[in-house]
Amino acid sequence: MRCRRCRGPAVVEVRRHNAAFCQECFVHHVHETVKRSIKSHRMFGPDERIMVAVSGGKDSLGLWEILLDLGYRAAGMYLGLGIGEYSERSRVVTKAFADEHEADLIDVDLRGEYGYDIPTAGKKGSRSTCAVCGLSKRYVFNRVALDHGFDVVATGHNLDDEAATLLGNTLRWQTEYIARQFPVLPSREGMVKKVKPLIRLSELETAAYAFLRGIDYVVEECPLVGGNTQLRYKAAMNQLERTSPGTKAQFLLGYIDRAAPLFKHEDTAELSPCERCGQPTTGRFCAFCRARAQVLGERLGAPPEKSESDRQVAGELSEEVLPAELYGGAPAALTMGS
Ligand code: FES
Ligand code: ZN
């Protein structure tokens, strides 16, 4: 197998591109792919301050490294979820990466800052562990980015994550959520712009990248994630991909390039400030404040109208995509099936 770019011996095969690369050219391919996403979706410019939400997994650490390599002003932000050893190890790995790259890292502890951790919230609240985890992350990322004056929050969602989420939303024709599933969510009052620069790279590509670059990352999946429906959608997509390489990319990128404009008008949510924290929401209190109050056993005042409240919770949770890195990666498998 020869490298497509330099004709030297290849180490990585990317089946959907019908291409193979040597180590150096694979890194080049990853950088070019990310550059293309940043440019085509106008994610950010060279002078903007980027906050990378880092979990300690291959995708977010890989993203951080790529952005630093490309010369962007990218700081990391780690949120300690309190999931025992898993969180501890994620923190250590993230800190080591920041030190090695002499990059800024903001380290926030959910319990220290907000009084609860994810295992407790999963047991005490009415939401599933992953749901409360997802909404806590989104809330804290946005808050920290606002407080520190970042222009944009970047997350490590890859092609597989996004394709699985799109499949789930499409199977139920959740048009409002489909409308919001875009690689760029523009800023609005109280909400920092959010971007997903890895959207054109599969999970195997991000795993190979982290492996080849010698990035030390947490391979284990989150111990609380078992039975997650997104994992089933990923498995279904992988099965299709095996027989028809490129299916995943066609599904997701086809949506972004051609179908997304058709769904734009479905995102109709009117936002006003949460009466507790001021962050924009569709009801009186934001999902984060309601979830937190429930976990801590506090009262938030009169609850909003029931129908509105249910709709709002569903809407806010729909944005949730758990980073693929929480499911671990397979750096040893350097043959890309996708
Ligand atoms: Fe969020 Fe596991 S439930 S990382
Ligand atoms: Zn709030």
The pLDDT score that the predictor gives to residue 337 is 41
Is 33 a member of any domain? no
Is 259 a member of any domain? yes
How many Å lie between the centroid of ligand 2 and the Cα of residue 290? 7
Degrees to nearest 5, angle at CA 154 with 215 and 95: 40
* Ion ligand 2, residues whose Cβ is below 5 A away: 274, 276-277, 279, 286, 289
CATH of the domain at 179: 3.40.50.620
- Cα 190 vs. chain centroid, distance in angstroms? 20
Polymer length in residues for the chain: 338
Let me know if 299 is exposed, middle or buried by CB neighbors in 10 A (0-12, 13-18, 19+). Answer: exposed
Q: Which helix (H) or strand (E) holds 133?
A: helix 129-147
121 Cβ inside 6 Å of ligand 1: no
pLDDT at residue 325 is higher than 80: no
Is 335 a member of any domain? no
Nearest C-alpha neighbor of 64 from the set 24, 23, 103, 107: 103
Structure tokens at 139: 């809330």
Domain count, the chain: 1
Which structural domain range is residue 177 located in?
40-269
10-14, 19-23, 220-224, 316-320: range with lowest mean pLDDT: 316-320
Q: Which whole number is the average pLDDT over 274-289?
A: 91
Give the closest residue (by CA) to ligand 1 atom 1.
133
118 Cβ inside 6 Å of ligand 1: yes
Give the closest residue (by CA) to ligand 1 atom 3.
130
Q: Rounded to whole angstroms, how far apart are CA atoms 228 and 134?
A: 13
Q: Rounded to whole angstroms, how far apart are CA atoms 218 and 69?
A: 21
Is 241 a member of any domain? yes
The pLDDT score that the predictor gives to residue 320 is 36
Give the closest residue (by CA) to ligand 1 atom 4.
222
Q: What per-residue string of b and e applies to 139-176 under the rule 16 or more CB within 10 Å gives b?
A: bbbbbbbbeeebbbbbbbbbbbbbbbbbbbbbeeebeb
Is 35 a member of any domain? no
The ligand minimizing its distance to the Cα of 130 is 1
Q: What per-residue string of b and e applies to 68-105 under the rule 16 or more CB within 10 Å gives b?
A: beeebbbbbbbbbbbbeebbeebbebbbebbeebebeb
Pocket test for ligand 1, best of 128, 157, 222 (most atoms within 8 A of CB): 222
Query: Using one digit for the tens of pLDDT, what is the confidence trace for 83-108?
Result: 999 999 999 999 999 999 999 999 99
**Which residue's entry shows tokens 């099936």?**
337
Is 137 a member of any domain? yes
Q: What's the pLDDT band for 176 if we cut at 50, 70, 90?
A: confident
Is 178 a member of any domain? yes
11-25, 60-74, 226-240: range with lowest mean pLDDT: 226-240
222 Cβ inside 6 Å of ligand 1: yes
Is 2 a member of any domain? no
Q: Which whole number is the average pLDDT over 263-272?
A: 80
326 Cβ inside 6 Å of ligand 1: yes
